[in-house]
Amino acid sequence: DIQMTQSPSSLSASVGDRVTITCRASQGITNSLAWYQQKPGKAPKLLLYAASRLETGVPSRFSGSGSGTAYTLTISSLQPEDFATYYCQQYYTTPYTFGQGTRLEIK
């Protein structure tokens, strides 16, 4: 199975900050990576796919990059509604696997 390791596991930041979350795969996944946002009591919501493609309707302050085994999610200027938990997921092969999540909290 492909292991997905996210860092950090939690992060405190302020409105307006730029934040970056990293996701590392245990083997190459050729950009078959998605990022999801989850708020308490809600289902995950797709933000980006193919490592860097923004899902329709997602604000442009969210961006993704990376290749091979290392990928990043960047939020350029945090807004109050962005405080949530973020997950990466590889869909290169089954079993599809997720990172353990990064909880983004208000400083």
Q: Shortest approach of other proteins to residue 17 CB, angstroms?
A: 25
Contact between 63 and other proteins per CB under 8 A: no
Q: Which of 44, 62, 78, 83 binds other proteins (CB under 8 A)?
A: 44
Contact between 40 and other proteins per CB under 8 A: no
Q: Which of 21, 73, 84, 101 binds other proteins (CB under 8 A)?
A: 101
13-17, long-range: CB < 8 A, 24+ apart: 13/78, 13/104, 13/105, 13/106, 13/107, 14/78, 14/106, 14/107, 15/78, 15/79, 15/80, 15/106, 16/77, 16/78, 17/77, 17/78, 17/107
Q: Which of 11, 69, 91, 103 binds other proteins (CB under 8 A)?
A: 91
